[in-house]
Amino acid sequence: MKGKGNKRQSGDKVMAKYKQYDYKQMLMLPISLEDQLAPGTLEFAIHTLVETRMDLSLFDEKYKNDETGRLAYDPKVLLKIVLFAYSRGLTGSRRIEQACRENVVCMALSCGVKPDHSTIAAFVFSMKAEIAPLFRDVLLVCEEEGLLSGTFFALDGLKLSSNASMEWSGTHSQLLQKKERLEDKVKQLLEEHEREDKGEDDPQGPGSFRGKASREKQIKRLQKQAERIEKWLS
């Protein structure tokens, strides 16, 4: 009989079919580091300005490895990853080290190298006086490009007119005010960075949970929180 056994009877339960997926599978993903630094983004601006506009010769005299000693991390790389981490509210050398292992943008800014927390801490704390004005100058350009919105460095107020003379009434004072506010924010984060390192706190935030036990604990915590909210809403 034609179609016998294939015809769905009235009242039969519909069984949907879905493609299978498995989060435990391993993938090899080719990634272009340069493509992660897209024009028009904060990370692209940080990368470009540090590479092309900043005079970093003052760092050279801090390194005495021209004849002996191992190669040092380029200060440009360290400046880029620390400033970007600060823009996302990440302070503490361990958290920045973690970002260089797990955050694609940080990997791109560091060009794939992974400085450890002791290297980051030694660089930042020995060079705070030199780092603060460099960060401020980079951020001032980023602010005028409208790239700081949604970051820790976001400032309220109007942008400068693109064709305004620096001597025009109010423009110069506004720029100086922004410069001072950005420098204050940088200094605040440098201080927080040092305090967090001295406290030797474990990294917090996404990606900070290690091991299967911690993963299972977080899954249960999220499920419990979801059930609590659902119950409250109903």
Q: Which residues lie closer than 8 Å to 98 by C-beta, 6 or more apart? A: 203, 207, 208
pLDDT of residue 168: 42
Distance CA 233, CA 204 (A): 29
* Of 8-17, 105-114, 205-214, minimum mean pLDDT range: 205-214
pLDDT digits over 141-195, tens only? 998 888 998 898 988 654 545 554 444 445 778 888 888 999 999 999 999 999 9
Mean pLDDT of the region 124-144: 91
Domain parsing of the chain, residue ranges: 34-154+168-201
3-state secondary structure of 85: helix
Is the pTM higher than 0.85? The answer reads no
CB-CB contact of 78 with 115 (8 Å):
yes
| pLDDT tens-place string over residues 216-232 | 777 777 778 778 777 87
Length of the chain: 234
Q: Could you give the angle at the alpha carbon of 141 between the alpha carbons of 34 and 145, nearest 5°?
A: 75
> Residue 111 CB: number of other CB atoms within 10 A?
14
Does residue 1 surpass a pLDDT of 60? Answer: no
Q: Are 44 and 37 a contacting pair, CB within 8 Å? A: yes
Using CA atoms, how far residue 180 sits from 55, 154, 174, in Å, is 21, 13, 10
What digits encode the pLDDT tens for the residues 41-53? 999 999 999 999 8
Structure tokens at 84: 């970007």
> Cα angle vertex 202, ends 200, 206, to 5°?
145
The SS3 call for residue 21 is coil
Whole-number Å distance between alpha carbons of 68 and 64 = 8
* DSSP at 163: T
